[in-house]
Amino acid sequence: MILPQITELVAICAKKGIENAILSPGSRCAPLTLAFARHPQIHARTISDERSAAFIALGMAQQLEEPVVLVCTSGSAALNYYPAIAEAFFQQVPLLILSADRPAEWIDQYDGQTIFQPEVYGKHVKGSYQLPDNTNNTDQLWHSSRIVNEAINLAKQFPSGPVHINIPLREPFYPSKDEKLTFPEKPRVFNQEHSSVQLSEESLKRLKNRLQFFSKILIVAGQQKPSDDLQAVLDKLSKEKKVVILTDTISNLQSDQTISLHDHWLGNPNLSQELEPELIISFGKSVISKSLKLFLRKTQASHWHIQEDGKAKDTFQRLSRTIPCSPGHFLNWLATDLKPQDQDYYYRWFQLEKNAKSALSDALRESEFGEYPALSICLSKTPAQSKIHVANSMAVRYLNLLGKRTQEVICNRGTSGIDGSNSTAVGCTFTTKEIVTLITGDMAFFYDRNAFWHNYSMPNLRIILLNNHAGGIFRLIDGPSNQPELEEFFETKQRLSAQHLATEFGFFYSKVVNQEELEASLQDFYEDSIHPKILEIETSSPKNAEILKLVKEKIKPLLES
């Protein structure tokens, strides 16, 4: 018999709008697995590798903006969720983690599959809960239901994020052969109303008075999902020359009215003084560009950060004011009340953007074959209405250097690890029929091979694999690049090819080593398919570093003119 608190839990999830669950096999979690698998309103999938399962759930929740359930058995299974949970916490993605556990009296007694599971995720979840291990009376069932409601509400509450419920379960775990599961038609549910935080008239008056002291204003957009409303108000601010707007590729707010190629000139000491702002206004989460962060940390600018919960995020070490409201509320007010700013300052940024765009195009066209120009060619063929998942390390940096994108760009920049990028992209494919292109390096790709170890179709997945048989980013960092141990201990050279993986999982596969082969392979890469496709671009790590250096050298003189 499946216990009533388990069927109640699943019914509450469905009633509160949760539609997806990722389950990993195990015996202790069998009651949860069966309940989620049999509930008619929940789409349950099974992923054997818990580390991959958690990143797949993350990839789904990123798109759905609703909690996705994770279910695992007791012991080390729950620990394998940890990297994705940390990523979800810092990226503010809602997950509901349900870990089955042995009853408390059997923990640390040499019994199988036991660890200390309550609060195992520490500060990397918004909340940790423990369900009662029996519900022999109505108060205990009420308590269990209350916990589930609180956990789901907390996962959704701004800033959204992962929440953990640990669930001690006693045998028997399985219903009898012919037993049917029945779910309560009216589970105990209490929802939380969502409010929009807006600034008072008094606060707006103070901000307006402060704005009179600034004539050079930079708006910095951090990582977020695309927003037509935010894009419209940012474009309006820029067209009216009221601010300069800097956007990384992961901001998903790039347009002809924003500066997106700033990585090509920030850090140039000959330009820093004339580009220094008097006020920085930021919103969203992290930014990729280290050059941007270092540039702004060296300025004397004031920094206002917009975040609904008002928490201090002092990325640039210049924070002077937190603004507790939605970015849309503040920016729309700014568009109405701010007067046009220093025109020379505005035009200088856009002159640099125009020069960088022209110089970059010429430099890539004239360069030898390598990752940088190859990715530029690939992106020219990527459908405008699609999604790009990009791995960390060099893949996301190349994407950022190449400028404005029309596609939604997703990257795990919460913790910025290479683990789980394949799995996160797979999760995305489960939520959309649009093409999902994963752009990844070889280290990230082979690290997460189990992302494809499941029985679900992904006909919309396309993988562009930049395989230089090494961790190429370490060749570009001054510290490791100057060490004799570079190749063995930092780049960790490997000889792997994706061909065997493609054969094993039934993916279409092509490998290219020059521009002619690349252009030929791209002709049908994005055509409809019943299987995912891998395009492996094989290059040399030393050559890629040389190309990147040469492109920078060709661009630099045009920026300083």
Residue 193 has a pLDDT of 84
Residue 119 has a pLDDT of 96
Q: The whole model's pTM is what?
A: 0.95
Check whether 491 has a pLDDT greater than 70: no
Residue 1 has a pLDDT of 64
Residue 475 has a pLDDT of 62
Burial of 543: CB neighbours in 10 Å, binned 0-12, 13-18, 19+? middle
Q: Average pLDDT of the chain?
A: 93
Tell me the pairing of strands 279-283 and 217-221: parallel
Residue 195 has a pLDDT of 77
The 20-23 sheet, strands edge to edge: 43-46, 20-23, 68-72, 95-101, 162-168, 127-130
The owner of tokens 């360069």 is 367
Check whether 261 has a pLDDT greater than 90: yes
Residue 241 has a pLDDT of 93
Check whether 317 has a pLDDT greater than 70: yes
Evaluate whether the domain defined by 201-352 bears CATH number 3.40.50.1220: yes
For the segment 63-95, what is each residue's pLDDT rounded down to a tens digit? 999 999 999 999 999 999 999 999 999 999 999
> What gap in Å lies between CA 525 and CA 532, rounded to an integer?
10
Residue 559 has a pLDDT of 75
Indicate the CATH number for domain 4-168: 3.40.50.970
Residue 480 has a pLDDT of 65
For the segment 160-219, what is each residue's pLDDT rounded down to a tens digit? 999 999 999 988 887 888 888 889 989 999 998 887 788 999 999 999 999 999 999 999
Check whether 323 has a pLDDT greater than 90: yes
The owner of tokens 């205990």 is 140
Instruction: Measure Cα distances from 318 to 191, 243, 291, 304, 412 in Å.
Output: 39, 18, 16, 9, 26
Residue 472 has a pLDDT of 59
> What gap in Å lies between CA 163 and CA 88, rounded to an integer?
10
Span 511-525, mean pLDDT? 97
Q: Are 382 and 388 in contact (CB under 8 A)?
A: yes
Residue 473 has a pLDDT of 65
Check whether 267 has a pLDDT greater than 90: no
Q: Specify the range with the lowest mean pLDDT, choosing from 145-159, 430-444, 470-484.
A: 470-484
Span 469-485, mean pLDDT? 67
Check whether 374 has a pLDDT greater than 70: yes
Structure tokens at 3: 């216990």
Check whether 8 has a pLDDT greater than 90: yes
Residue 187 has a pLDDT of 92
Q: How much of the chain, in percent, has pLDDT values that exceed 70?
A: 96
Residue 270 has a pLDDT of 86
Contacts of 54 by beta carbon, 8 Å cutoff, 6+ apart: 22, 70, 80, 81, 83, 84, 85, 95, 420, 423
CATH fold of 367-560: Rossmann fold (3.40.50)
For the segment 383-407, what is each residue's pLDDT rounded down to a tens digit? 999 999 999 999 999 999 999 999 9
Check whether 464 has a pLDDT greater than 80: yes
Span 353-369, mean pLDDT? 94
Q: How many residues does the chain have?
A: 561
Compare 310 and 330 and report the one with higher pLDDT. 330
How many CB atoms within 10 Å of residue 15?
19
Predicted confidence band of residue 494 (pLDDT cuts 50, 70, 90): confident
CA triplet 140, 143, 149: central angle to 5 degrees?
145
Span 440-469, mean pLDDT? 96
Q: Specify the range with the lowest mean pLDDT, choosing from 111-115, 343-347, 482-486.
A: 482-486
Question: For the chain, where do the domains classified as CATH 3.40.50.1220 start and end?
Answer: 201-352
Check whether 350 has a pLDDT greater than 80: yes
Residue 260 has a pLDDT of 97
